[in-house]
Copies of this chain bind each other. A is one copy, B any other.
Amino acid sequence: MKKITDTEQIRAANRKQIIGALRTHGPLARVELCDITGLSPATVTAITSDLFSVGFLKETSGTAEGNQGRGRPKVNIDLNPEAAFVIGIQPSVNELAFVLGDLKGNIRENHTVSIQLDRLDEAQFITLVIDGINDFIAFSGVDRNRVASIGIAMQGPVDSATGTITWSPALSIQNVPICEALESRFNIPVSIANDSDIVALALRHLNNYSHDSNLLTIVLGQGVGMGALINGQLYSGSRGAAAEFGHVKFNLEGPQCRCGGRGCIEAYAGDYALYRDAATIMHLPMSDNHRPSEEQMEQITAELKNGNEALQRIYDQAGRVLGLGMANLITLLDPERVIVTGRGVRGYEFMEAEANRAMKDALLPSHTPDIVESFEWTGDLISTGTIHLGLEKSD
């Protein structure tokens, strides 16, 4: 939690609140802005005046309904989407993707470059990203003076405080001070977050959860990630190493995990583990580097749909472990909602019955499994979240 030191910071926080309310709710009358933010009319007027003067806001006429009455037509305040832009960067295995978002948080452009990132040293990687940003700005035709911030979504652990990539399956280099390098080149704020955190940010905005809610996002994929919003803020712990839900363990004699430990949740429910266990009982092609492809995973899901019982037992076990893990999350953190998503959610329907049974058995009467819901995966969640990560710095 930030220390409240002076009027500047209050003003900045209020400004963020007003921009956030307009982004979530769309055009609003001044009185609605007061209601939603809890700010006084005087404060709203002062801050919106500032925001008008820099072009962030525009006036729109109210709804047709609002204008049917007599008297002055209703005037709403709206964000001017083109007043500022954010560039999102997503390095992943053999790919570097760019996305352009506007002040409203809409995705405006996408561009993906295929490249073997794991062959690059630090200087080459940073140069590639800088050149990529310049090309993308040129390609999208956006005024570069309006690019207000950059957000980076990274697979694997990052240190958000120092803006460093700790390590990533996409790269062979480690401890890369990427934010500093881009900030000194572009002179705008640059933020980085783990992709599970990015998904959590996207879901908060897509689903309009309360901005001070406790929202946990479980991201199924090769591993099992988690993004935790505590009191509406990304929670990363005292050393940036929190929310390692995939490495919660129940049984130290359980299956082998990639981390070196045994019995981790992802050693049951990660794609690599599901494929490994399936390959133990079925004829399946070797998976590359213990990273089964989307096609390989879909082949398994097709078998499940055909009613393969031995395979279903593997998913039942994954569901039980996932359910017990989510029950313990609810017991410890009492979140408003737990959302299961990620590429691996394609198989969640085959885990869900056992997950729900385990939650029912494991939860106290004061808790309920009904707060868990699944959310269909789309890559846009990463793009949207990356834009919102950037917007948090530029608002």
Which residue on chain B has the smallest CB distance to residue A242?
Answer: B334
CA distance A260 to B365 in the complex (A): 9
CA distance A4 to B1 in the complex (A): 12
* Given A335-B238, A364-B259; A249-B10 close (CB under 8 Å): no
* B-binding segment of A38-46, A134-142, A169-177, A181-189: A38-46
Q: Note all chain B residues with C-beta closer than 8 A to A248.
A: 328, 331-332
Q: Note all chain B residues with C-beta closer than 8 A to A366.
A: 157, 239, 241
Contact A364 B251 (CB under 8 A): no
* B-binding segment of A64-72, A81-89, A190-198, A227-235: A227-235
A38 to chain B, nearest CB (A): 5
* Given A230-B230, A249-B328; A39-B5 close (CB under 8 Å): yes
Answer yes or no: A379 CB below 8 A from chain B CBs: no
Contact A231 B1 (CB under 8 A): yes
Q: Note all chain B residues with C-beta closer than 8 A to A233.
A: 1
Picked from B39, B236, B259, B334, the residue with its CB within 8 Å of the CB of A238 is: B334
Tallying the copies of this chain within the complex gives 2
Picked from B226, B252, B335, the residue with its CB within 8 Å of the CB of A324 is: B252
* Given A3-B17, A251-B251; A261-B334 close (CB under 8 Å): no
CA distance A4 to B157 in the complex (A): 32
A82 to chain B, nearest CB (A): 29
Mark A285-314 against chain B: 1 for CB-CB distance below 8 A, else 0: 000000000000000000000000000000
Q: Note all chain B residues with C-beta closer than 8 A to A336.
A: 238
CA distance A251 to B248 in the complex (A): 14
Answer yes or no: A7 CB below 8 A from chain B CBs: yes
Q: Note all chain B residues with C-beta closer than 8 A to A29.
A: none
Q: Note all chain B residues with C-beta closer than 8 A to A232.
A: 1
Answer yes or no: A240 CB below 8 A from chain B CBs: yes
CA distance A3 to B210 in the complex (A): 12
Q: Note all chain B residues with C-beta closer than 8 A to A24.
A: none
Answer yes or no: A375 CB below 8 A from chain B CBs: no
Answer yes or no: A52 CB below 8 A from chain B CBs: no
Answer yes or no: A95 CB below 8 A from chain B CBs: no
Picked from B5, B14, B262, the residue with its CB within 8 Å of the CB of A4 is: B14
Q: Note all chain B residues with C-beta closer than 8 A to A17.
A: 3
Which residue on chain B has the smallest CB distance to residue A329?
Answer: B332
Chain A 199-231 residues near chain B, CB threshold 8 A: 212-214, 226, 230-231
Name which of A235, A238, A260, A362 has the most chain B CB atoms within 10 A of its CB. A238
Additional pairs, 13, CB under 8 Å, beyond known A244-B364, A329-B332: A1-B212, A1-B231, A3-B37, A5-B43, A214-B238, A235-B333, A237-B333, A237-B335, A242-B333, A244-B331, A249-B324, A252-B324, A261-B361
The 5 A-B pairs of least Cβ separation, nearest first, read A237-B334, A242-B334, A250-B250, A238-B336, A1-B231
